[in-house]
Amino acid sequence: MDSITNDVNVHKLMKVLNLVAKIILENGGETHRAEDTINRIAKSFGIEEAEGVVIPVGFFITISRNGLDSYTTVKRITKRTTDLYKMNEANRISRMLTEGKLNLDEALEELQGLSTRTTGNKWLLLIGSALSSGFFTLLFNGSILDFFISVFCGTIIQILALMLRVEEMFPLVMSLLGGFSISCIATASTLLFPEVSLEAVISGAIMPLLPGLAMTNAIRDSMQGDLISGLVRGTEAIIIAIGLAVGAGFYLKLWLLGGGLV
Amino acid sequence: MFSDFFYAAMAALFFALLFNVPKISIPVTALLGGIGYVVFLIVGEQSSSQMLGFFVGTSVITILSEIAARIMKLATTIFVSIAIIPLVPGLGLYKTMLFIVQNNYELALSTGIQTMSAAGTMAMAIAITTLLYRFIINLIAKINKSKVTI
Protein backbone atom coordinates (compact mmCIF):
# COMPACT_ATOMS: atom_id res chain seq x y z
CA MET A 1 0.00 0.00 0.00
CA ASP A 2 1.50 3.31 -1.01
CA SER A 3 1.21 6.14 1.47
CA ILE A 4 0.87 9.82 0.69
CA THR A 5 4.36 11.23 0.26
CA ASN A 6 3.93 14.36 -1.80
CA ASP A 7 1.39 16.89 -2.97
CA VAL A 8 0.80 15.18 -6.29
CA ASN A 9 -0.48 12.14 -4.52
CA VAL A 10 -2.79 14.15 -2.30
CA HIS A 11 -4.28 15.72 -5.35
CA LYS A 12 -4.67 12.35 -6.98
CA LEU A 13 -6.32 10.96 -3.88
CA MET A 14 -8.67 13.94 -3.83
CA LYS A 15 -9.57 13.28 -7.45
CA VAL A 16 -10.27 9.63 -6.71
CA LEU A 17 -12.45 10.51 -3.73
CA ASN A 18 -14.36 13.04 -5.81
CA LEU A 19 -14.99 10.59 -8.61
CA VAL A 20 -16.05 7.75 -6.34
CA ALA A 21 -18.50 9.93 -4.43
CA LYS A 22 -19.84 11.41 -7.65
CA ILE A 23 -20.43 8.04 -9.29
CA ILE A 24 -22.09 6.58 -6.20
CA LEU A 25 -24.41 9.56 -5.77
CA GLU A 26 -25.33 9.96 -9.43
CA ASN A 27 -26.28 6.33 -9.84
CA GLY A 28 -28.59 5.77 -6.93
CA GLY A 29 -26.20 4.95 -4.08
CA GLU A 30 -27.09 6.08 -0.57
CA THR A 31 -25.39 9.06 1.05
CA HIS A 32 -24.01 7.05 3.93
CA ARG A 33 -22.45 4.65 1.44
CA ALA A 34 -20.59 7.57 -0.18
CA GLU A 35 -19.45 8.86 3.23
CA ASP A 36 -18.30 5.40 4.27
CA THR A 37 -16.34 4.97 1.06
CA ILE A 38 -14.60 8.34 1.40
CA ASN A 39 -13.58 7.64 4.98
CA ARG A 40 -12.39 4.12 4.24
CA ILE A 41 -10.25 5.11 1.25
CA ALA A 42 -8.73 8.08 3.05
CA LYS A 43 -7.94 5.98 6.11
CA SER A 44 -6.23 3.31 4.04
CA PHE A 45 -3.82 5.97 2.72
CA GLY A 46 -2.89 7.10 6.20
CA ILE A 47 -4.77 10.38 6.11
CA GLU A 48 -5.22 11.64 9.65
CA GLU A 49 -8.29 13.76 9.14
CA ALA A 50 -10.82 12.88 6.51
CA GLU A 51 -14.34 14.20 6.54
CA GLY A 52 -16.99 13.70 3.94
CA VAL A 53 -20.34 15.40 4.25
CA VAL A 54 -22.65 14.00 1.62
CA ILE A 55 -26.17 15.14 0.84
CA PRO A 56 -28.16 13.97 -2.19
CA VAL A 57 -27.52 17.19 -4.12
CA GLY A 58 -23.77 17.33 -3.60
CA PHE A 59 -20.88 16.74 -1.24
CA PHE A 60 -17.97 18.34 0.61
CA ILE A 61 -14.74 16.49 1.24
CA THR A 62 -11.85 17.67 3.38
CA ILE A 63 -8.66 15.73 3.89
CA SER A 64 -5.64 16.72 5.93
CA ARG A 65 -2.38 14.86 6.37
CA ASN A 66 -1.21 16.41 9.61
CA GLY A 67 -4.08 18.58 10.75
CA LEU A 68 -2.42 21.73 9.41
CA ASP A 69 -2.75 21.89 5.65
CA SER A 70 -6.14 20.74 4.50
CA TYR A 71 -7.63 20.19 1.07
CA THR A 72 -11.31 20.69 0.43
CA THR A 73 -13.56 20.17 -2.54
CA VAL A 74 -17.22 20.95 -3.02
CA LYS A 75 -19.19 19.29 -5.74
CA ARG A 76 -22.76 19.73 -6.90
CA ILE A 77 -24.68 16.76 -8.24
CA THR A 78 -27.42 17.61 -10.69
CA LYS A 79 -28.06 14.37 -12.52
CA ARG A 80 -29.54 11.56 -10.48
CA THR A 81 -30.50 8.26 -12.06
CA THR A 82 -30.53 4.68 -10.90
CA ASP A 83 -27.80 2.60 -12.45
CA LEU A 84 -26.89 -0.04 -9.93
CA TYR A 85 -24.21 -1.52 -12.18
CA LYS A 86 -22.12 1.68 -11.99
CA MET A 87 -22.76 2.00 -8.28
CA ASN A 88 -21.55 -1.54 -7.72
CA GLU A 89 -18.45 -1.02 -9.90
CA ALA A 90 -17.48 2.12 -7.95
CA ASN A 91 -17.89 0.10 -4.78
CA ARG A 92 -15.69 -2.68 -6.12
CA ILE A 93 -12.94 -0.31 -7.25
CA SER A 94 -12.90 1.44 -3.88
CA ARG A 95 -12.69 -1.89 -2.09
CA MET A 96 -9.74 -2.99 -4.25
CA LEU A 97 -8.06 0.37 -3.61
CA THR A 98 -8.34 0.03 0.16
CA GLU A 99 -7.11 -3.55 0.02
CA GLY A 100 -4.08 -2.40 -1.95
CA LYS A 101 -4.91 -4.42 -5.06
CA LEU A 102 -4.99 -1.23 -7.14
CA ASN A 103 -2.81 1.85 -6.86
CA LEU A 104 -4.07 5.41 -7.18
CA ASP A 105 -3.28 5.76 -10.88
CA GLU A 106 -5.05 2.55 -11.85
CA ALA A 107 -8.04 3.37 -9.71
CA LEU A 108 -8.24 6.86 -11.20
CA GLU A 109 -8.12 5.45 -14.71
CA GLU A 110 -10.83 2.88 -14.01
CA LEU A 111 -13.08 5.43 -12.33
CA GLN A 112 -12.72 7.93 -15.15
CA GLY A 113 -13.58 5.23 -17.63
CA LEU A 114 -16.58 4.23 -15.55
CA SER A 115 -17.96 7.75 -15.17
CA THR A 116 -17.87 8.49 -18.90
CA ARG A 117 -19.04 5.08 -20.07
CA THR A 118 -22.71 4.70 -20.82
CA THR A 119 -23.85 1.40 -19.45
CA GLY A 120 -27.25 -0.08 -19.98
CA ASN A 121 -28.79 -0.94 -23.28
CA LYS A 122 -31.74 1.16 -24.48
CA TRP A 123 -33.59 -1.95 -25.64
CA LEU A 124 -33.17 -3.62 -22.28
CA LEU A 125 -34.58 -0.50 -20.59
CA LEU A 126 -37.52 -0.60 -22.97
CA ILE A 127 -38.18 -4.28 -22.32
CA GLY A 128 -37.76 -3.77 -18.57
CA SER A 129 -40.24 -0.91 -18.43
CA ALA A 130 -42.78 -2.58 -20.71
CA LEU A 131 -42.84 -6.00 -19.11
CA SER A 132 -42.59 -4.86 -15.50
CA SER A 133 -45.67 -2.71 -16.16
CA GLY A 134 -47.38 -5.75 -17.63
CA PHE A 135 -46.58 -8.08 -14.76
CA PHE A 136 -47.62 -5.52 -12.17
CA THR A 137 -50.99 -5.34 -13.94
CA LEU A 138 -51.27 -9.13 -13.65
CA LEU A 139 -50.28 -8.88 -9.98
CA PHE A 140 -53.14 -6.42 -9.43
CA ASN A 141 -55.62 -8.98 -10.81
CA GLY A 142 -55.55 -7.79 -14.41
CA SER A 143 -56.52 -10.06 -17.28
CA ILE A 144 -54.31 -11.07 -20.21
CA LEU A 145 -55.81 -8.26 -22.28
CA ASP A 146 -54.95 -5.75 -19.53
CA PHE A 147 -51.43 -7.16 -19.57
CA PHE A 148 -50.92 -6.25 -23.22
CA ILE A 149 -52.36 -2.75 -22.85
CA SER A 150 -50.12 -2.20 -19.85
CA VAL A 151 -47.08 -3.42 -21.81
CA PHE A 152 -47.96 -0.86 -24.49
CA CYS A 153 -48.20 1.89 -21.85
CA GLY A 154 -44.84 0.88 -20.38
CA THR A 155 -43.21 1.05 -23.81
CA ILE A 156 -44.59 4.52 -24.51
CA ILE A 157 -43.46 5.75 -21.09
CA GLN A 158 -39.91 4.54 -21.57
CA ILE A 159 -39.72 6.08 -25.07
CA LEU A 160 -40.89 9.38 -23.55
CA ALA A 161 -38.34 9.05 -20.77
CA LEU A 162 -35.50 8.42 -23.21
CA MET A 163 -36.54 11.39 -25.32
CA LEU A 164 -36.88 13.74 -22.35
CA ARG A 165 -33.74 12.72 -20.50
CA VAL A 166 -31.80 15.78 -21.67
CA GLU A 167 -34.40 18.28 -20.55
CA GLU A 168 -34.18 20.19 -17.30
CA MET A 169 -36.80 19.60 -14.60
CA PHE A 170 -36.83 16.03 -15.82
CA PRO A 171 -38.58 14.35 -12.84
CA LEU A 172 -41.57 16.69 -12.71
CA VAL A 173 -42.12 16.87 -16.48
CA MET A 174 -41.71 13.13 -16.79
CA SER A 175 -44.25 12.36 -14.09
CA LEU A 176 -46.79 14.88 -15.42
CA LEU A 177 -46.51 13.47 -18.93
CA GLY A 178 -46.37 9.91 -17.64
CA GLY A 179 -49.54 10.22 -15.59
CA PHE A 180 -51.29 11.94 -18.45
CA SER A 181 -50.31 9.49 -21.18
CA ILE A 182 -50.96 6.37 -19.11
CA SER A 183 -54.50 7.43 -18.25
CA CYS A 184 -54.95 8.55 -21.87
CA ILE A 185 -53.96 5.16 -23.31
CA ALA A 186 -55.88 3.24 -20.65
CA THR A 187 -59.14 5.13 -21.19
CA ALA A 188 -58.76 5.00 -24.95
CA SER A 189 -58.37 1.25 -24.75
CA THR A 190 -61.70 0.94 -22.91
CA LEU A 191 -63.34 2.37 -26.02
CA LEU A 192 -61.89 -0.44 -28.12
CA PHE A 193 -62.24 -3.20 -25.53
CA PRO A 194 -65.02 -2.46 -23.00
CA GLU A 195 -63.96 -5.30 -20.69
CA VAL A 196 -60.59 -3.70 -19.87
CA SER A 197 -60.10 -3.02 -16.16
CA LEU A 198 -59.04 0.62 -15.98
CA GLU A 199 -57.83 0.31 -12.39
CA ALA A 200 -55.53 -2.65 -13.05
CA VAL A 201 -54.02 -1.13 -16.18
CA ILE A 202 -53.33 2.30 -14.66
CA SER A 203 -51.99 0.88 -11.38
CA GLY A 204 -49.69 -1.54 -13.16
CA ALA A 205 -48.43 0.77 -15.86
CA ILE A 206 -47.69 3.57 -13.41
CA MET A 207 -45.51 1.32 -11.22
CA PRO A 208 -42.14 2.04 -12.94
CA LEU A 209 -42.71 5.77 -12.49
CA LEU A 210 -43.78 5.61 -8.86
CA PRO A 211 -41.49 6.91 -6.10
CA GLY A 212 -42.36 4.20 -3.57
CA LEU A 213 -38.75 3.12 -3.29
CA ALA A 214 -37.62 6.73 -2.83
CA MET A 215 -40.19 7.13 -0.06
CA THR A 216 -39.06 3.98 1.74
CA ASN A 217 -35.40 4.98 1.38
CA ALA A 218 -36.19 8.47 2.64
CA ILE A 219 -37.69 7.10 5.82
CA ARG A 220 -34.79 4.69 6.19
CA ASP A 221 -32.26 7.51 5.80
CA SER A 222 -34.05 9.56 8.44
CA MET A 223 -34.05 6.61 10.83
CA GLN A 224 -30.30 6.19 10.40
CA GLY A 225 -29.73 9.86 11.24
CA ASP A 226 -29.18 11.13 7.69
CA LEU A 227 -31.87 13.72 8.24
CA ILE A 228 -31.09 16.01 5.30
CA SER A 229 -30.91 13.10 2.92
CA GLY A 230 -34.22 11.81 4.24
CA LEU A 231 -35.87 15.20 3.73
CA VAL A 232 -34.50 15.65 0.21
CA ARG A 233 -35.52 12.20 -0.95
CA GLY A 234 -38.91 12.45 0.73
CA THR A 235 -39.59 15.76 -0.98
CA GLU A 236 -38.50 14.31 -4.29
CA ALA A 237 -40.89 11.38 -3.85
CA ILE A 238 -43.81 13.66 -3.01
CA ILE A 239 -43.13 15.94 -5.99
CA ILE A 240 -43.10 12.95 -8.33
CA ALA A 241 -46.33 11.58 -6.83
CA ILE A 242 -47.99 14.99 -7.19
CA GLY A 243 -46.85 15.20 -10.81
CA LEU A 244 -48.28 11.77 -11.61
CA ALA A 245 -51.57 12.51 -9.86
CA VAL A 246 -51.99 15.92 -11.49
CA GLY A 247 -51.21 14.44 -14.92
CA ALA A 248 -53.61 11.55 -14.45
CA GLY A 249 -56.24 13.62 -12.62
CA PHE A 250 -56.24 16.29 -15.31
CA TYR A 251 -56.87 13.76 -18.04
CA LEU A 252 -59.50 11.82 -16.09
CA LYS A 253 -61.33 15.12 -15.45
CA LEU A 254 -61.30 15.90 -19.17
CA TRP A 255 -62.57 12.40 -19.86
CA LEU A 256 -65.50 12.86 -17.49
CA LEU A 257 -66.29 16.34 -18.87
CA GLY A 258 -66.27 14.99 -22.39
CA GLY A 259 -68.73 12.31 -21.37
CA GLY A 260 -66.18 9.57 -21.90
CA LEU A 261 -65.37 10.52 -25.47
CA VAL A 262 -62.23 12.67 -25.21
CA MET B 1 -50.54 -18.17 -4.57
CA PHE B 2 -48.21 -19.57 -7.20
CA SER B 3 -49.37 -17.08 -9.80
CA ASP B 4 -48.75 -14.25 -7.33
CA PHE B 5 -45.25 -15.57 -6.76
CA PHE B 6 -44.62 -15.75 -10.50
CA TYR B 7 -45.99 -12.29 -11.27
CA ALA B 8 -44.10 -10.62 -8.43
CA ALA B 9 -40.89 -12.39 -9.44
CA MET B 10 -41.31 -11.36 -13.08
CA ALA B 11 -42.12 -7.77 -12.12
CA ALA B 12 -38.96 -7.66 -10.00
CA LEU B 13 -36.93 -9.23 -12.81
CA PHE B 14 -37.91 -6.62 -15.37
CA PHE B 15 -37.50 -3.87 -12.81
CA ALA B 16 -33.96 -5.09 -12.36
CA LEU B 17 -33.40 -4.49 -16.09
CA LEU B 18 -34.77 -0.97 -15.67
CA PHE B 19 -32.27 -0.26 -12.88
CA ASN B 20 -29.41 -1.87 -14.84
CA VAL B 21 -28.22 -4.17 -12.06
CA PRO B 22 -25.19 -6.42 -12.56
CA LYS B 23 -26.42 -9.28 -14.76
CA ILE B 24 -25.40 -12.03 -12.37
CA SER B 25 -27.76 -10.78 -9.65
CA ILE B 26 -30.93 -10.66 -11.79
CA PRO B 27 -32.26 -14.21 -11.17
CA VAL B 28 -31.62 -13.94 -7.44
CA THR B 29 -33.42 -10.60 -7.13
CA ALA B 30 -36.38 -11.97 -9.05
CA LEU B 31 -36.55 -14.97 -6.71
CA LEU B 32 -36.30 -12.74 -3.64
CA GLY B 33 -39.03 -10.46 -4.98
CA GLY B 34 -41.36 -13.43 -5.40
CA ILE B 35 -40.58 -14.92 -2.00
CA GLY B 36 -41.01 -11.58 -0.23
CA TYR B 37 -44.36 -10.93 -1.85
CA VAL B 38 -45.70 -14.39 -0.99
CA VAL B 39 -44.52 -14.07 2.62
CA PHE B 40 -46.25 -10.67 2.76
CA LEU B 41 -49.49 -12.19 1.47
CA ILE B 42 -49.43 -15.22 3.77
CA VAL B 43 -48.50 -13.32 6.94
CA GLY B 44 -50.94 -10.53 6.15
CA GLU B 45 -53.76 -13.04 5.65
CA GLN B 46 -53.01 -15.28 8.62
CA SER B 47 -52.56 -12.45 11.11
CA SER B 48 -55.20 -10.23 9.48
CA SER B 49 -52.76 -7.35 9.90
CA GLN B 50 -51.32 -5.97 6.69
CA MET B 51 -48.62 -4.07 8.57
CA LEU B 52 -47.27 -7.29 10.07
CA GLY B 53 -47.22 -8.67 6.54
CA PHE B 54 -45.16 -5.69 5.36
CA PHE B 55 -42.79 -6.08 8.28
CA VAL B 56 -42.19 -9.81 7.98
CA GLY B 57 -42.06 -9.74 4.16
CA THR B 58 -39.46 -6.97 4.13
CA SER B 59 -37.43 -8.63 6.90
CA VAL B 60 -37.28 -11.89 4.98
CA ILE B 61 -36.16 -10.05 1.85
CA THR B 62 -33.50 -8.12 3.76
CA ILE B 63 -32.03 -11.20 5.46
CA LEU B 64 -31.92 -13.20 2.23
CA SER B 65 -30.42 -10.17 0.43
CA GLU B 66 -27.66 -9.83 3.00
CA ILE B 67 -26.82 -13.50 2.58
CA ALA B 68 -26.93 -13.30 -1.22
CA ALA B 69 -24.80 -10.14 -1.20
CA ARG B 70 -22.21 -11.86 0.97
CA ILE B 71 -22.06 -14.92 -1.26
CA MET B 72 -22.00 -13.03 -4.57
CA LYS B 73 -19.81 -10.16 -3.30
CA LEU B 74 -22.18 -7.41 -4.44
CA ALA B 75 -23.72 -4.49 -2.56
CA THR B 76 -26.77 -5.43 -0.49
CA THR B 77 -28.68 -2.43 -1.84
CA ILE B 78 -28.87 -4.06 -5.26
CA PHE B 79 -30.87 -6.98 -3.92
CA VAL B 80 -32.98 -5.15 -1.36
CA SER B 81 -34.06 -2.20 -3.47
CA ILE B 82 -35.32 -4.38 -6.31
CA ALA B 83 -36.80 -7.24 -4.33
CA ILE B 84 -39.01 -4.96 -2.22
CA ILE B 85 -40.49 -3.28 -5.31
CA PRO B 86 -43.63 -5.46 -5.40
CA LEU B 87 -44.30 -4.55 -1.75
CA VAL B 88 -43.45 -0.87 -1.91
CA PRO B 89 -46.53 1.33 -1.44
CA GLY B 90 -45.93 3.63 -4.41
CA LEU B 91 -49.46 3.09 -5.61
CA GLY B 92 -50.77 4.39 -2.30
CA LEU B 93 -48.75 7.57 -2.64
CA TYR B 94 -50.13 8.12 -6.14
CA LYS B 95 -53.69 7.38 -5.03
CA THR B 96 -53.37 9.80 -2.11
CA MET B 97 -52.37 12.59 -4.47
CA LEU B 98 -55.07 11.58 -6.95
CA PHE B 99 -57.74 11.78 -4.23
CA ILE B 100 -56.47 15.23 -3.28
CA VAL B 101 -56.67 16.32 -6.93
CA GLN B 102 -60.22 14.97 -7.05
CA ASN B 103 -61.22 16.87 -3.85
CA ASN B 104 -61.81 13.60 -2.01
CA TYR B 105 -60.01 14.56 1.19
CA GLU B 106 -61.33 11.83 3.48
CA LEU B 107 -60.13 9.03 1.25
CA ALA B 108 -56.89 10.93 0.64
CA LEU B 109 -56.25 11.12 4.39
CA SER B 110 -56.92 7.44 5.07
CA THR B 111 -54.92 6.26 2.03
CA GLY B 112 -52.12 8.66 2.90
CA ILE B 113 -51.85 7.44 6.49
CA GLN B 114 -51.92 3.83 5.32
CA THR B 115 -49.20 4.53 2.76
CA MET B 116 -46.96 6.34 5.21
CA SER B 117 -47.29 3.61 7.80
CA ALA B 118 -46.56 0.93 5.20
CA ALA B 119 -43.45 2.79 4.01
CA GLY B 120 -42.41 3.41 7.61
CA THR B 121 -42.92 -0.24 8.54
CA MET B 122 -40.83 -1.38 5.60
CA ALA B 123 -38.05 1.09 6.37
CA MET B 124 -38.09 -0.04 10.00
CA ALA B 125 -37.96 -3.69 8.95
CA ILE B 126 -34.93 -3.05 6.71
CA ALA B 127 -33.12 -1.04 9.40
CA ILE B 128 -33.77 -3.51 12.22
CA THR B 129 -33.01 -6.60 10.19
CA THR B 130 -29.76 -5.15 8.85
CA LEU B 131 -28.71 -4.18 12.36
CA LEU B 132 -29.51 -7.63 13.77
CA TYR B 133 -27.78 -9.38 10.87
CA ARG B 134 -24.58 -7.31 11.26
CA PHE B 135 -24.64 -7.87 15.01
CA ILE B 136 -24.94 -11.64 14.65
CA ILE B 137 -22.24 -11.79 11.96
CA ASN B 138 -19.86 -9.77 14.13
CA LEU B 139 -20.65 -11.98 17.10
CA ILE B 140 -19.90 -15.12 15.11
CA ALA B 141 -16.66 -13.61 13.84
CA LYS B 142 -15.62 -12.72 17.39
CA ILE B 143 -16.40 -16.19 18.71
CA ASN B 144 -14.42 -17.79 15.90
CA LYS B 145 -11.47 -15.48 16.56
CA SER B 146 -11.43 -16.24 20.28
CA LYS B 147 -11.46 -19.96 19.54
CA VAL B 148 -8.39 -19.59 17.37
CA THR B 149 -6.47 -17.65 19.99
CA ILE B 150 -7.31 -20.15 22.70
**Any idea where the domains of chain A sit in the sequence?**
7-116, 122-257
Give the gap in angstroms from C-alpha A5 to the nearest C-alpha of chain B. Answer: 32
Cα separation, A212 vs A1, in Å, equals 43
Q: For chain B, say whether A198 makes contact (Cβ under 8 Å).
A: no
pLDDT tens-digit series, residues A22-47? 999 888 888 888 998 998 888 888 88
- Residue A261: the pLDDT is 55
Q: For chain B, say whether A213 makes contact (Cβ under 8 Å).
A: yes
Q: For chain B, say whether A245 makes contact (Cβ under 8 Å).
A: yes
pLDDT tens-digit series, residues A57-109? 899 999 887 777 788 999 998 877 788 888 888 988 998 888 888 888 888 88
pLDDT cut 70: percent of chain B above it: 98
- Residue A259: the pLDDT is 67
Q: Which amino acid is at A22?
A: K
Q: Where are the domains of chain B?
A: 2-149
Cα separation, A227 vs A93, in Å, equals 28
Residues of A in contact with B88 (CB under 8 A): 210, 212-213, 215-216
Q: For chain A, say whether B81 makes contact (Cβ under 8 Å).
A: yes
Q: Which amino acid is at A208?
A: P
Q: For chain A, say whether B113 makes contact (Cβ under 8 Å).
A: no
- What are the DSSP calls for B49-108, one per residue? -HHHHHHHHHHHHHHHHHHHHHHHT--HHHHHHHHTTTT-THHHHHHHHHHHHTT-HHHH
Cα separation, A88 vs B20, in Å, equals 11
B24 DSSP 8-state letter: G
Q: How confident is the model over A241-254, as a mean pLDDT?
A: 85
Residues of B in contact with A135 (CB under 8 A): 7-8, 10-11, 14
Q: Is ipTM strictly over 0.90?
A: no
Give me the half-sphere count of Cα atoms (radius 13 Å) on the Cβ side of residue B90: 25
CB pairs under 8 A between A and B: 154
pLDDT tens-digit series, residues A106-129? 888 888 888 888 777 788 888 888
